[in-house]
Chain A
Amino acid sequence: MVRARESAGLAWLKTQGLKVPKFVGIQPDTDLDALTIPFEAPWIVKPDVAIGGKGQRGLVHRCEDQAALQHAASDLFAQQFNGSPLAAVIIEECVDGDEFFLAIAIDEQHRRPVIRCAPVGGVGFDATSTNVYEASLVTDLDETALQTTIRAAGFADETMEIVQRTLRQMWDAFVASEAVLIEVNPLKWDGKHGTAVGIALEFDPHSQTSVDARRPELETTLAASLGRTPTVREDAVAAADAREADRPGMTFFELDGDIAFVVAGGGAALFTFDFLHDHGLNPACYTDYSPGGGLDKLTALFEAALSIPNIRGVFVGVAVLNVMDTEFFADALLTALDTTGIDPHTVPIVARIAGPGETLTLQRLRAVSGLTVFGREETLEHAGSVLVTQLAKVGS
Chain B
Amino acid sequence: MTTPVSISSMLADPGGVVVQGITGRQGQLETRWMLDSGTHVAAGVTPGKGGQVVHGVPVYDTVEEAIAKHACRASMIYAPRHIAAGAAIEAINAGVRLVAISAEDVPMHDMIRLIDVAKEHDAVVVGPNTQGLLVPGLGRIGSPGGTDVNERFSPGHVAVVSRSGGMTGEIGHLLHLWGFGTSVQIHLGGAVMPATTLRDGVALAERETITKITVVFGEPSSSQEDVLAAAIADGQMRCPVVAMVAGRFSDTFPAMLPFGHAPRATGDSATNVAAKYANLTDAGAFVAHNFTQLREQVERLTANLATHVNPEAS
Contact = CB atoms under 8 A, between A and B. Distances in A.
Interface of A: 1, 106, 108-109, 111-113, 126, 128, 136-138, 175, 178, 180, 204, 206-209, 225-227, 248, 251, 253, 255, 264-271, 273-275, 277-278, 286, 288, 290, 318-323, 355-356, 376, 379-381
Contacts of A271: 167, 244, 246
A138 B146 contact: no
B300 interface: no
A384 to B, nearest CB: 10
A277 B268 CA distance: 27
B109 A322 contact: no
Contact of A208 (B110, B190, B261): B110
Contacts of A355: 146
Given A208-B110, A274-B246, A286 B259 contact: yes
Contacts of A319: 164, 166-167, 169-170
9 contacts: A111-B115, A112-B115, A206-B105, A225-B256, A265-B166, A269-B259, A270-B260, A273-B259, A319-B170
A267 B217 contact: yes
B247 A273 contact: yes
Contacts of B166: 264-268, 318-321
Nearest to B223: A108
Contacts of A268: 164, 166-167, 170
A267 B217 CA distance: 8
Nearest to B115: A111
Given A136-B116, A207-B107, A273-B247, A267 B163 contact: yes
A144 B162 CA distance: 41
B173 interface: yes
A299 to B, nearest CB: 20
B249 A356 contact: no
A136 B120 CA distance: 12
7 smallest CB-CB distances across A and B, nearest first, come from: A267-B164, A319-B166, A265-B166, A270-B246, A322-B146, A206-B105, A267-B167
Interface in B213-252: 217, 219-220, 222-223, 227, 244, 246-250
A278 to B, nearest CB: 8
A131 to B, nearest CB: 17
A136 B222 CA distance: 21
A126 B258 contact: no
Contact of A227 (B26, B112, B256): B256
B253 to A, nearest CB: 8
B311 interface: no
B246 A320 contact: no
A391 to B, nearest CB: 18
Contacts of A380: 170
Contacts of A206: 81, 105-108
A225 B264 CA distance: 12
B145 A113 contact: no
B143 A322 contact: yes
Contact of A138 (B116, B147, B246, B292): B116
Given A112-B116, A265-B164, A320 B249 contact: no
Interface in B40-93: 81-82
A376 B289 CA distance: 21
B297 to A, nearest CB: 15
A227 B261 CA distance: 19
Nearest to B254: A227
Given A178-B108, A275-B290, A321 B113 contact: no
Contact of B219 (A175, A266, A379): A266
Given A274-B249, A322-B144, A323-B143, A106 B108 contact: yes
How large, as a class, is the contact surface on chain B? 35 or more
Contacts of A111: 112, 115, 193
B265 to A, nearest CB: 8
B108 A270 contact: no
A350 to B, nearest CB: 17
Contacts of A126: 268
A112 B112 contact: yes
B229 to A, nearest CB: 14
Contacts of A204: 107-109
Nearest to A175: B109
A175 B108 CA distance: 11
Given A273-B249, A322-B144, A108 B193 contact: yes
Nearest to A209: B82
A323 B259 CA distance: 24
A110 to B, nearest CB: 10
A322 B112 contact: no
Nearest to A255: B253
Contacts of B113: 137-138
A274 B247 contact: yes
Nearest to B173: A320
B136 to A, nearest CB: 15
Given A322-B146, A323-B29, 17 more contacts: A111-B115, A137-B116, A204-B109, A267-B190, A267-B217, A268-B167, A269-B259, A269-B260, A273-B247, A274-B290, A275-B290, A319-B169, A320-B146, A322-B145, A322-B165, A323-B26, A379-B174
A277 B253 CA distance: 13
B218 to A, nearest CB: 9
Contacts of B261: 266-267, 288
A277 B152 CA distance: 29
B208 interface: no
Contacts of A178: 107-109
B23 interface: no
Contacts of B190: 266-267
A287 to B, nearest CB: 11
A106 B26 CA distance: 31
A323 B152 CA distance: 14
Interface in B244-298: 244, 246-250, 253-254, 256-261, 263, 268-269, 289-292
A115 to B, nearest CB: 14
Contacts of A322: 131, 143-146, 165, 169
B258 A109 contact: no
